[in-house]
Amino acid sequence: MDRHEELPLEAGRPDAVPAEARRAILAWYAERGRPLAFRRTRDPYAVLVSEAMAQQTQAARAAEAWEPFLARFPTVETLAEAPLADVLRQWAGLGYDRRALALWQAARIIVAEHGGRVPADIVALQALPGVGPYTARAVVALAYGLPVGAVDVNVRRVLGRVVAGDATALRPPDLQAVADASVPHDDPGGWTHALMDIGATVCKPRNPRCGDCPARPWCRYAAAPPDPDTAAPARTHAARESPAPFHATNRWLRGRIMTRLRAEPAPGWAVIEAPLGAHDDTAIEAALAGLVRDGLVERHATGRARLCGS
């Protein structure tokens, strides 16, 4: 008997994913799941690193950076003891450098308050810098094998469509209840990866490939997809406000500054001169000030800059 048949949801909530659908999804993942490097481990620290990297970064790109990062910082203790500048340098190419700072801070807390062991408790995990509800549940499911549902944007879309016919139909508490009730107790990690892969490769936001989805026979969205003739018309290109080119954004500028500082041998101070792309002195000063506030960069009295912890 599927163990989830013993875990009914509260009255009025949608059902869990049917047992037959769970088996089909896991079989699909066993055959077609992406062979990402970090899926070969259940070490809690390695899993935490992979989840930090995969936030706001494509999984394949995170997987490429994961092994070199662990080679440089193989344990939570080595990460906690490392200068922050070394961690920021190793993070090169992943973007959103505040994640590296948060991961380093989390490692220091894990060593100081948890004896160097990544917590197996969701509440304790969420108390760590950079760890939200999804990351905490992913670590618990993937590393510790506990039957909890980790809900990211891909999982939200898959579960919402399968059990309710629409990616946004379920209120967050109901969605989490469905996610938790749907986890196969004998393979929480495989289930977590499987839902992520289906959402990333098959059950896409637009033009989902329902014919390739293992959950199609049980999916309410596939049974009654939106009628293209009655669906709300998409906004035309002319009606949308064109975004600024990426190289003109503050995010691009921050990235270029961090690249420049990573290249500076420690503990040297670098002069960041204008122009950087289309950015003048005023824009550079504003970007540097933001990086200082974020704890990533420090300034010298002369105006030079370097990575924090150099």
d(CA 50, CA 138): 10
Residues shown for the chain: 310
Residues whose CB is less than 8 angstroms from the CB of residue 36 and which lie 6 or more positions away in sequence, other chains included: 59, 60, 63
DSSP state of 226: P
Q: What is the H or E stretch that residue 299 is in?
A: strand 297-299
DSSP state of 242: P
Distance CA 169, CA 178 (A): 12
How far, in Å, CA of 111 to CA of 118, rounded? 9
Residue tagged active-site, from 51, 64, 81, 273: 51
Cis peptide before 14 (omega within 30 of 0): no
Q: Are 119 and 160 in contact (CB under 8 A)?
A: no
Across-strand partners of 266? none
- Residue 297, phi then psi, degrees to nearest 5: -135, 145
Q: Which two tokens stand for residue 96?
A: 């959103």
Q: Which residues contact 253 (CB under 8 A, 6 or more apart)?
A: 276, 277, 279, 283, 284, 287
In contact, 298 and 292? CB cutoff 8 Å: yes
| 6 part of the active site | no
Amino acid identity for residue 112 in this structure: A
Q: Coil, strand, or helix at residue 270?
A: strand
Question: What positions carry a catalytic annotation?
Answer: 51
